[in-house]
Amino acid sequence: MPTDAVTNNLPFKSGYVIIAGAPNAGKSTLLNQILGEKISIISSKPQTTRQRILGICHRPGVQIIFYDTPGIFIPNDPLNVRIVDTALGAISDADVLLAVVDAANPNSDAETMLIETIRDQKLPIILALNKIDLIADKEALLEIIARWSTQQEYAALVPVSARDGTQVDELLGAITQVLPDGPPYFPEDSLTDASERFIASELIREKIFRLTGEEIPYAAAVSVEAFKLTSDKKGVSIEATIHLERDSQKGIIIGRKGAMLKRIGSEARQDIERMTGRKVFLKLFVRVQKNWRRDTKAIERFGY
């Protein structure tokens, strides 16, 4: 259905906003905070996001279409080359670039790479200095704001906390100011164009990131082989496979007497139930595919 603004022939704004930044800057947390729903997975480990995730924010007279992108970093294998290319390639499709910086944990290498990435962009750039809830010394925050203000001109510079929502409304207001006039591209009840099947696979992968350590999260991919309603239409039956690179990783992710795999499945199932609003029956399998991150065909088969 059209919005009231469109119905009454009032001006309406819409456009695509690319969220870019270093790994672990809080881009996905920010998108989830804006939407009020979890569509982009998060963890404390860097490089959790591997693909562009579209999220749609509806406000009176405006529709903001966000793309959450993987963190920008120096890649070291074919998978990471794909991931960074995804982030950089998304920028050219945008109406606005939202650069997100971890203001609480400065990283000179990551900041330098971000500055080089955005320096020559012709589109409006809004800088979000994130994690201000972790900066107790407000004088230090003012110094950070001053330092970033000298890097280049921004359409707006907004300190925010993606975790608790501080100044997120102000950030959305700044984005709205620079969006072009245009019609809504998605229905009012849309939050994303990602399928429930895809989000389910991401939620499983998130649990791997959160519950395992070392190289396991980065060596794991998840494919969903079955996603269908149960015979009574009240539940969802899902079969998914966790792909790893080595046999030793398989033993770790299964755990003693299957404990780790059960925990991953249990926590993922709860999130998937919240997403679908249905009872979920989740079966997880583990398979080893040697060095898949360096195998172009495997990378493409897993959707990257």
Query: What's the whole-number mean pLDDT along residues 278-298?
Result: 92
pLDDT of residue 88: 73
Pull the structure tokens for residue 124.
Answer: 């409006």
Whether 72 has a pLDDT exceeding 50, the answer reads: yes
Mind listing the pLDDT tens digit for each residue in 132-154?
999 988 899 999 999 999 888 89
pLDDT band of 92, cuts 50, 70, 90: confident
Whether 215 has a pLDDT exceeding 90, the answer reads: no
> Are the beta carbons of 128 and 101 closer than 8 angstroms?
yes
Query: What's the whole-number mean pLDDT along residues 254-275?
Result: 95
> Are the beta carbons of 110 and 22 closer than 8 angstroms?
yes
CA end-to-end span of the chain, whole Å?
34
Mind listing the pLDDT tens digit for each residue in 233-260?
899 999 999 999 999 999 999 999 999 9
CA 133 – CA 140 distance, rounded (Å) = 12
Per-residue b or e along 44-67, where b marks 16 or more CB atoms closer than 10 Å to that residue's CB: eebbbbbbbbbbbbbeeebbbbbb
Identity of the residue numbered 27: K
Return mean pLDDT, the chain. Answer: 88
Whether 1 has a pLDDT exceeding 60, the answer reads: no
Model pTM score: 0.82
pLDDT band of 23, cuts 50, 70, 90: confident
CA 224 – CA 103 distance, rounded (Å) = 37
> Which ranges in 222-285 belong to alpha helices (H)?
247-254, 259-276
Q: Look-up: residue for tokens 């000179």?
A: 108
pLDDT of residue 71: 78
- Could you give all domains of the chain from N- to C-terminal order, each with its CATH number? 4-178 (3.40.50.300), 196-301 (3.30.300.20)
